[in-house]
């Protein structure tokens, strides 16, 4: 690079933050300047641009690559996740939610679960492990999982279903042996999720800020540690959308640091960071 990179100008910072908010709902501000500058450097390196001002000229030019917005959102998205993260949620799912859904709907149809903001796949694969184990004890139980994210790069990683041994370590040893395949190269520390689980999950790109409709209503939505990056009005709009995509009596799981308190949405708390859709709410 021929020009020293210093920092984003106040004007460019505002423009980038506004663009990110418009397209993803992620609420950045001046307090996130250092983080944002670090993420933008990745794009500048890829595009062989020498300064933030050059990148912003490119970003806001009429003839830019139409995929650059997607690349920008990928760069600024935070994709922290783990297997069995907030494991109490999976205990609630098994002990309370699935029995309640069975009592309400019987075992005639599959249960549909949606991992919204699935990142690199640890959450939907954890769900698949937990539900497969549940199905062993309840042979009539059937399920499928939809997993979506705004970031195309993490979706590609999720679909590969390959993780390091360190990443898989939170999975209990017995389940690790059952649901992960080791590389033929014994020196490798990579494991891959077994086909039995992979076929239970459909991965899709989805921007939660856009209008969307699931092919059929979900019974359970996991959207954990996602809304912390949105402002309150955006959070409320999103949970109204979620309510429209849920069956009556369906459930939403959020992160333990997140809350729907004081939101005007038809979701009532039933456990820490778990909500149930009130009966009679129209999906339309």
Q: Give the other-Cβ count within 10 Å of 3's Cβ.
A: 10
Q: What pLDDT sits at residue 177?
A: 94
Question: What is the distance between the alpha carbons of residues 223 and 231, in angstroms, rounded to a whole number?
Answer: 15
- Answer yes or no: is 1 within a domain: no
Structural domain boundaries enclosing 25: 10-76
67 Cβ contact list (under 8 Å, min separation 6): none
Phi, psi (deg, nearest 5) at residue 143: -150, 160
In a 13 Å sphere around the CA of 37, the CA atoms on its Cβ side amount to 16
Q: Within a domain: residue 81? A: no
**Are 123 and 87 in contact, with CB atoms under 8 Å apart?**
no
Name, in order, each residue with C-beta under 8 angstroms of 93's C-beta and a sequence gap of 6 or more. Answer: 130, 220, 253
Helix axes of 33-47 and 52-59: crossing angle, nearest 10 degrees: 80
* Same domain as 224, residue 155: yes
Same domain, 165 and 127: yes
- Strands 111-116 and 143-149, by their bridges, are parallel
Same-domain status, 28 and 101: no
Active site residues: 39, 149
Position 92 in a domain: yes
Question: 128 with 29, same domain?
Answer: no
Q: What is the pLDDT of residue 221?
A: 97
Same domain, 17 and 108: no
Report the SS3 class of residue 178. helix
Q: Which two tokens stand for residue 20?
A: 């990110």
Per-residue pLDDT of the chain (284 residues; tens, 9 = 90+): 444 456 788 898 889 988 888 888 888 877 778 888 888 888 888 889 888 999 999 998 877 777 888 888 888 876 778 999 999 999 999 999 999 988 877 666 789 999 999 999 999 999 999 999 999 998 889 999 999 998 888 899 999 999 999 999 999 999 999 999 988 887 889 999 999 999 999 999 998 888 888 888 999 999 998 888 888 888 999 999 999 999 999 999 999 888 898 899 999 999 999 999 987 655 44
- Decide if 284 is inside a domain: no
Q: What is the DSSP string of 43-86?
A: HHHHHT--SHHHHHHHHTSTTS-TTHHHHHHHHH------TTTT
Q: Supply the CATH number for residue 63's domain.
A: 1.10.155.10
Last residue of a domain, one of 76, 96, 123: 76
Nearest C-alpha neighbor of 107 from the set 95, 118, 99, 115: 99
Clarify whether residues 29 and 103 are in a common domain.
no
Give me the number of domains the chain comprises: 2
Last residue of a domain, one of 43, 76, 109: 76
Q: How far apart are CA 162 and CA 124, in angstroms?
A: 14
- Alpha-carbon distance of 234 to 236, in angstroms, equals 5
In a domain, 2, yes or no: no
Q: Domain boundary at 76, 97, 129, which?
A: 76
Q: Concatenate the DSSP letters of all residues of 199-254 into one string.
A: TTEEEEE--TTS----SS-EEEEE--S-GGGS-HHHHHHHHHHHHHTEEEEEEEE-
CB-CB contact of 85 with 122 (8 Å): yes
Residues near 225 by beta carbon (within 8 Å), at least 6 away in sequence: 80, 81, 85, 117, 255, 257, 258
d(CA 74, CA 48): 18
Q: What is the pLDDT of residue 280?
A: 62
> Nearest to residue 221, comparing CAs of 231, 206, 210, 234?
206
Do 112 and 40 belong together in one domain?
no
């Amino acid at each position: 690079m021929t020009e020293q990179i210093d920092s984003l100008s106040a004007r460019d910072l505002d423009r980038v933050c506004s663009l990110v908010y418009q397209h993803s709902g992620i609420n950045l501000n001046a307090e996130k300047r250092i983080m944002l500058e670090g993420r933008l450097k990745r794009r500048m390196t890829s595009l062989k641009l020498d300064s933030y001002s050059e990148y912003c000229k490119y970003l806001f030019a009429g003839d830019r690559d139409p995929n650059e917005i997607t690349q920008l959102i990928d760069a600024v998205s935070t994709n922290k996740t783990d297997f069995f993260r907030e494991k109490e949620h999976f205990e609630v799912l098994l002990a309370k939610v699935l029995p309640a859904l069975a009592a309400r709907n019987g075992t005639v149809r599959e249960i549909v679960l949606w991992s919204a903001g699935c990142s690199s796949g640890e959450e939907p694969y954890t769900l698949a492990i937990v539900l497969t184990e549940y199905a062993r004890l309840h042979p009539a139980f059937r399920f499928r999982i939809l997993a979506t994210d705004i970031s195309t790069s993490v979706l590609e990683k999720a679909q590969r279903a390959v993780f390091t041994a360190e990443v898989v370590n939170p999975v209990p040893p017995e389940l690790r042996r059952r649901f992960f395949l080791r590389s033929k190269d014994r020196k490798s520390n990579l494991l891959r999720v077994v086909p039995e689980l992979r076929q239970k999950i459909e991965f899709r790109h989805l921007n939660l800020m856009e209008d969307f409709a699931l092919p059929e209503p979900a019974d359970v939505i996991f959207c954990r540690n996602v809304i912390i990056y949105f402002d309150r009005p955006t959070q409320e709009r999103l949970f109204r959308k979620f309510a429209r995509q849920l069956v009556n009596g369906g459930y939403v799981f959020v992160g333990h640091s997140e809350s729907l308190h004081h939101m005007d949405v038809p979701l009532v708390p039933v456990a820490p960071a778990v909500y149930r859709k009130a009966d009679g709410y129209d999906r339309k």
